[in-house]
Every structure is written in C-alpha cells, then in structure tokens.
Structure 1
C-alpha cells in the first residue's frame, strides 16, 4: 500500500508515537522544564526522578544544551540556575572544582562562563584560584565580564593574599578587562595600595599598574605623580625599582628629574629601572615636554644632566645598569 493510500489512523498513531518518544527524550525534558520554570510551573516529580537517575555529567550536559538553546531567544536568567539546583548540579559542580583533575573543571567553566549568570560567581571565583593555568585563566576571562562591582573587589582582594601563587597575573588580567567598567575605582584603589604598610602589597600594586600602561580617557588620577614620587623614595629597594619601572611604562615625563636621581640609587635594580625608564621617556620625547619654549637653555641643561647620569651608568659594575643606560643614551641621541 502506498504512503498516500495509508489509512489516517496509522499515520496518526506513528505521529503520536514520535511525539511521545520526543517527550521522553531527556534533553527535551530538560528544555521543557526550563520553559515551565520561566512560567513558574513546577516540574513533575515523576519526570524529575527519571532525570536524577542519570549521571551528573549527563544532567550537566542536558542543562547546558537547554540553557544555550533558550539563550538564543532570550538572555539566561535565574530560572536557569533554579533548574540547575533542581537537577542537583550545583553540588556536582562544587565537587568537580574541589577535585584535583583539571579536565572536568574546564568543562564546567566552559559550560557556566559564557552564560554570565551572577549565581555562577562563587564557582568562577573558586576556579580563578585553581592551580591549573587553563582553568584559572579561563575563569578569570569569564568572571571579568560579569556586570557586578563585587567582581572588581574580588580581583583587588587577590592582590592582598599572603600566600604565593599566580594571583598577580590573574588579578592584573581581570582588572585590565574591567577598566572600561570600573577604571577610576581601580586606579584609586591600586594607588592607595602603593602606600600600604606591607611591602608585598606595595610591590603588587606597582606591578599591576605597570601592566596597565598610561591611563585612558576618564581614568586620569590626580595623585598618580605624587604616588610615583613616594614610590621612588620608598625605604625598600624592590619597591623603588618597581616605581621607576612604572614611571617609564606609564609615560610620566614629569618624573624625569626623580628618575635622574634614581639612576644614582644605592641599589643596582633601581639604577637599572631608572635608566630604562629614562630611555622610554626619551623615545617618546617626554623628557622635557612640559618645559616652556623660551626656556631653551634650561631644557638643554636638564638634557645634559640626563645624559651625564646615564653616561655614569655606563661604567656601572652591574651589567643590567650599563646595558639599560646604553640603550637609553641611544634614544636620547636620536631625539
């Protein structure tokens, strides 16, 4: 019998069988539950029991597929996280993040991170602290996109951790990504840290600021030069060296006189970074940018002081100092 002549009741029965099978398909059930939760409809206990009988890995995959399918039509929201709790995924994800294996953690991060759900913040924060670079860096990138001021506070608090770890790099990456959102707040907090009583906090603050580069429009902080001058006079040589490096990387031409003095510091690290910073400023033509045109004699006198300080560094017994001075003099000669 041809298909066209097939009795209606047979075709109807086949359609009904297909529809019933689709309704029993676990991924489709999860998607149906999510749609019901958006309408404040509680899932049926019988269906839920069948889903909970599956492995947590399968439930996590079904949840991810359902949320991603819904996200194509509307932004993920709290019903998605409520469904995760109903499927008992939150406790599963916590157990995965506490385990030593990094592979399952990466799968969790890739499932939660792109959705930018505020409820996922604790899991992403825990992942940022993971020893695995793949897990920590991926979590940092996703967490930095969450629209919540607490994220900025979290990355700033990382810098105050007393234990060693890759926190500085991840904090710097996270804060750099959030500059477009909380730029002025980040600069003010970091500059305040440069005056902290703990040497480690001052060092970390200068490291992160150095990674930023010059302030963008709207990020200008009036106390930047004052903080850098204080850093160049810090009692700890390591902090003075970081401050000298930062002055060059942030293109602060007004600090050239202080860098000339730092080129004669008692510590070789400070002398090397000061010479390097003077070279950067010279390459950008910032050594005496703010001098008045009519003060040509004063400008030449100051340039000569810079040349002399760097020339003296050429004879330094530390190869780092002489090498940085040689490169800096090359830039000054070009200018």
Structure 2
C-alpha cells in the first residue's frame, strides 16, 4: 500500500492488527522520527521498549548480514505482547536485508518498521513496501500537516488550547516546516504546563521564521513599497540569504494571505493585523496571480537558467509590489 495524507495518518494512529509493518520515508528527519515513534506505540503499546519488545537496527548491523532483520522478526521475545523491529536510516545500499525480511515475514512475526530519507519512485525498498499485501509505504512530504496530523501532534504533547490558541496553532502549521512545527508545539506545552494555552503563549513560543530584513522585504512587496525592496535585497544578499529561501518564505506569506482572503486560514504572529489588511486589500483573485508569479519564479531559480538568481527574485518582488500598488 502507498499511503499519504489522511490515509497515512489513520494508519500511523491505528494500523491493522495483521499488518507486516511499514516503510516511513521523507526528507524531514524529525517528521519521519515522530511518525515512526507513533507507529511503534500504536503497534506495541506504551511499555514496549521497557519490556524489550522493540528491537532497533541500523546500518552497522545490516552490513554484510543479509539475514539480520529476518532473524529478529522471527525471534521470540521474553515478554508477551506484540513485537516491533525498527530499522532506521536505510538507504538503497542496505536494501538486501530489508527486502529479505519483508519477503520472509509471516503472520505471528514481529512488525517491521523501516525509516529512510527521501526515496525516488524507482527505489527498490519503496517498491517492495508499496507492492506488499500487508505492509504500507508512508511518504512524508514537505506539505503542511493536515487537520488530523495537527490534532495528533497536539494530543501527543497533552496540550490544551483555547479556540483562539488553536486557531493560531493551525496557522503556525501552515507557516513552518513540519519539524519546526513539532518543536514549537513542544515548547508551547512546556510553557503552558497544566494551563490552557492561548494565543499569547503561541506567539511567545513561535520561532522567528525569518529575520527582520527578510520579513520586511516581503511585507514591502505585499504593501506596494517598491522603493524599499532594492536596499533590503542588497542587505539580505550580504547576510547570505539565498534567493530560493526568499522565494519559499514569500510563497508562504502570500499563501497565508490567500487563505485569509478565502476565509480558510488566519495569519499569525506580531504582524497579524498587517497581514489581515494585506489580505483584504489584495483579494483572492490578485493573490492567486501573486502565487502564480512566485511559483514561476521558484521554477526559474531551481532550473539551469544562467540568469542572476538574486536579480530574478528582486524583479519578482518588484512586480508584486506594483501589483499591490495598482490594486485600486
């Protein structure tokens, strides 16, 4: 099975009792590790590690031992209860023992949970888990977490939120990388303790996702202040900020504005009021045009084009500022 989104979240929360296991892969190592921990708990229970029902293997144990993983799957534990064999950080070079274990798995064996980085569609490991009759391949991408994933993350931290606090956490999930979002939830939970966390706690614990200059140049573009863009871009170049990084943050900013204009999301952070004003001024149609421009710019930046990248990004921000200035 190949699972994504809500299907993947449902599997991680409550896998079938007869599941052989899962491959969890993705570029965000923290997100993969969190999903792995949740799946192990769902399969074996909270006390599995203390009862020695979880076996962990890594690349050193796999080297030159094609039967290492299968042997652990077949082993009989000292304590009763479901067992899990976790194989972490697998690459294509270690595919042989993993594939042998998956092929030799039988009902009654331990569940096999394998983690890996980003895998191509041609990956042997990925193909094997996708094709297996009772195993799953769970791909975790850089997409913002969905509502079920956000809820699971909140529950994992035993975090209680006011409606306003939950609104800001939802907005935070759209603005941050998944790993940063998980870390921020942990900080909010520690800060709140036994109290219910409101928007003040969320704002206090939220990371500064961009420095002041990067934040300022994006707001300048959104507010039609084209004269401020050039000096800010030169300062950012001196700080070592990459054009691709700037394109990513600009896309997130205008994506938040689009969500606010459509009524599907709320801006967050100290400039929330300014972003609300920007969303109202731009409107949904213009914001769709802004996002299309940023997507086109991002493709140019990531292509083999010989155009100076910082100049490409600066031109895109100036075009956005002119769109903002001409909105009336």
Q: Tell me if TM exceeds 0.5.
A: no
Higher strand share: 2
TM-score (norm 2): 0.28
Q: Report the structure number with the largest CA radius of gyration.
A: 1
- Scaled by the length of structure 1, the TM-score of the pair is 0.28
